[in-house]
Amino acid sequence: MSNFTIYPAIDMRGGNCVRLIQGDYNQETVYGDSPFDMAKSFASQGAEWIHMVDLDGAKAGGRINDSYVIQAAKELGANIQIGGGIRTEADVVHYLERGIERVILGSAAVSDPGFTKTMLGKYGKHIAIGIDAKDGKVATHGWLQTSETTAIELGKALADEGAEVFIVTDIATDGMLSGPNVEGIVAMAEATGKGVIASGGISSLKDLITLKEYQNQGVIGAIVGKAIYTNRFTVKEALEKVRD
């Protein structure tokens, strides 16, 4: 089992680093005006992975803030995973050819299962499936729509198609600093038999320790955003806390 990985998050909108509350574009806080500088700061604290999201892209359905992502992949020693607005194979290739380690398919995983299956077949471990759940159902398109599919159903179907990594966000907890939905995350890991990265609600080092306890069940990491930006703890402290 690989180490439990911390993924400090950079959500990009209008060229800024922002955080939304429960995915609401009207509840935005700006935490910096340079996504690259933020990524550099995380890498300098020892982050081996950085999670970047193109919020403008997620809403528009195409790449918008990709230049920051590519610069981070090129100039920093960290692995980058990117989500938001990735709807075509050209989008996937655009990132992978420029040194991005992992591309996240979110809305496309629900709206275009055939495309997702093809991408998993071609690019394997470089594809992560982002499943955003609201009351157990899958939400898509920047969380603006909710489908009838349950998160677990989607996870199982895509694991059968070759998905190895899932990023599970519980919208109810995202940006709320209320603690992660541990039960939902572990349920996904157990249902799929694959690696699950927890996202949403992490507010303390204790939350990270709790999630790490389920490492053997397949919880392989956690995405941390607002807790870092509001100085609950640093990336360095988080990495030290979960080190084996």
Catalytic residues: 11, 132
46-76 burial, b if ≥16 CB within 10 A, otherwise e?
bbebbbbbbbbbbbebbbbbbebbbbbbeeb
Cβ neighbors of 21 (< 8 A, separation 6 or more) are: 27, 174, 175, 176
Residue-by-residue DSSP string for 128-178: EEEEEEETTEEEETTTTEEEEEEHHHHHHHHHHTT--EEEEEETTTTTTTS
The tokens describing 187, both together, are 């349920």
Task: Report the distance separating Cα 60 and Cα 54, nearest Å.
Answer: 10
Give CA torsion, residues 171, 243, 229, 196, to 10 deg. -20
Take residue 80 and report the two structure tokens written for it. 């980058």
Q: Helix 35-44 to helix 66-75 angle, to the nearest 10 degrees?
A: 30
